Structure formats: structure tokens, C-alpha cells
Amino acid sequence: MKKIFLAAAAALALTTGANAAEEVHIPKETWTFNGVLGHFDKQQIQRGFQVYKDVCANCHSLKYVAFRHLGALGYSEAQIRSLAATYQVDDGPNDEGDMFKRPGRASDHIPKPYANDALARAGNGGALPPDLSLITKAREGGPDYIYHLLIGYEDAPAGVEMSPGLNYNKYFPGHQIAMTKQITDGVVTYADGAPNDAAHVAKDVTAFLHWAAEPNLEARHATGLRVVLYALIFAVLAFFAKRRLWKDIPH
């Protein structure tokens, strides 16, 4: 019995030891969408969309986002229509049975950069750039992780053997990532004149990706608040009702 117990304890120590070595501490960031009153800063999300469009969209798709969804960021219908029209999207088959390309419409989804995963891998040294629609929810650490990943490129520490074609990143699990550093100071210039150093750009694009992953966050927060208010009012009413009902009963 004692042996089994010792073995179990040793196994536990081993696994937790391994986890501790793997675990990277991801610092917490301040986001406008955190907390019960959290909301999206539309200006920031628009800037983040610009970063996605100008930088990330070269490799990453955003398959659940249609142009018309961008209306939630404060773009007018005309702006969305003309943005969509700058893309060529696949359509068809036509009467001859052929697929064809036509300018995008507001109802189209943002076209993906590669026709299929094999092409995407071929263009990225064998690694697949994941779709970014739900990425802030799909990764442990959420937006904090994505933000730090984007600015977490460093020289590999002495003694760390890097595989060819991979880049050292402090926050990527295993520290070797196929994506090269994408965000540098001034990689985009914002129309609203907001700061465009790497940290701000990374923050903006992460906020945009979080909007893409959870477009209903504000509505959810508002509903939560209404439910809490309702429960509070109900509790107060119940309290006075109870006092009234029990008033004449000695206890």
C-alpha cells in the first residue's frame, strides 16, 4: 500500500514538474472589454481591422466575418460596400457551368488568402496559419496571450537549439513558431493618427480579433446587468412583503 502511495506521489510530482517547466506566465493586460461593464472601443477595433487587413490577411483567414458585420464597428453601409468591392470573390457556377470571380458584396465573407490548407502550408514552410475568427477564445490566456505572442519575439537564449525556419517566441508553447515577427513599430499608419508603435498595433489587432470572436459581448453584458438588477429589485420586494406578512405574528 505504502509503495503504491509513494509511486502515485512520485508520478504527481513528475507531472506537475513537467507542467511547471512548460508554463509561461502571461501578464494580464487592461482591455476595454473586460469586466461586467466591458465594451468595445470602436475606434480601436477599426484600427485593429486595418492591421488585420494590411498585415495578417496575407496569411490568415477570418472565415466567420462577413463585410456586413463590420457595420458594428461604425462603418457606414456605403463604406462597407466599397470595401467589399475591392475584393474579388469566387462565385458560380454560371449558366455555362463555370466558376467565376466578381467584386465582393457586403453579404460576402472576407475572402481567405489561400484556396486550401495545402496551399497555405506550402506558402508557410509547412505550417498552417490558423483561421483567426475564434482565436482569442481558442487559446489559453485569450487576448492577453495573443497580444504577448505578437510582441514576444526575441533572440533564442544561448543553448536553445532552433529548428530551421522557426522563430523564438517567449509566449508560444515550446517557444518555436513558424510565423515570423509581423508587428513592428510603424508597420501600419492609422488614419486617426493613433500611436502605431508595435505594442499599440498588437493591442489594436488583438482587440479586433476579440470582437470577431465575441461580437455579442456587449449585448451579453447588458443582459447580465438587467438580470442582476431584476434580481435585486425582486429581493427588495420580497423583503418588504415578508415584513408585512409577518408583522402581526409573534415570533
Q: Which is nearer to ligand HEC, 178 or 199 (CB)?
A: 178
Q: How far is the CB of 137 from ligand HEC (least distance, A)?
A: 12
Sequential DSSP letters for 144-169: HHHHHHHT-B-PPPTTPPPPTT-EEB
Query: Which residue number is nearest to ligand HEC in terms of Cβ?
Result: 56
Return all residues near 19 (Cβ < 8 A) that are at least 6 apart: none
Peptide bond into 93 cis (omega under 30): yes
Q: How far is the CB of 61 from ligand HEC (least distance, A)?
A: 11
Q: How far is the CB of 184 from ligand HEC (least distance, A)?
A: 10
Query: Comparing C-alpha atoms, which of 241, 224, 210 is closest to residue 146?
Result: 210
Q: Which is nearer to ligand HEC, 60 or 69 (CB)?
A: 60
Q: How far is the CB of 100 from ligand HEC (least distance, A)?
A: 28
Q: How far is the CB of 197 from ligand HEC (least distance, A)?
A: 14
Q: Are 117 and 130 in contact (CB under 8 A)?
A: no
Q: How far is the CB of 172 from ligand HEC (least distance, A)?
A: 6
Q: Which is nearer to ligand HEC, 48 or 106 (CB)?
A: 48
Residue 58 grid cell = 496575407
The Cβ of residue 221 has, within 10 Å, a number of other Cβ atoms equal to: 16
Q: Which is nearer to ligand HEC, 53 or 105 (CB)?
A: 53
Under the rule (CB under 6 A), what is the footprint of ligand HEC?
51, 55-56, 58-60, 124, 127, 129-130, 135, 139, 146, 149-150, 172, 177-179, 182-183, 205
**CA dist., res. 138 & res. 7, Å (int):** 35
Q: Which is nearer to ligand HEC, 106 or 148 (CB)?
A: 148
**CA dist., res. 105 & res. 102, Å (int):** 9
Return all residues near 123 (Cβ < 8 A) that are at least 6 apart: 59, 114
Q: Which is nearer to ligand HEC, 51 or 65 (CB)?
A: 51
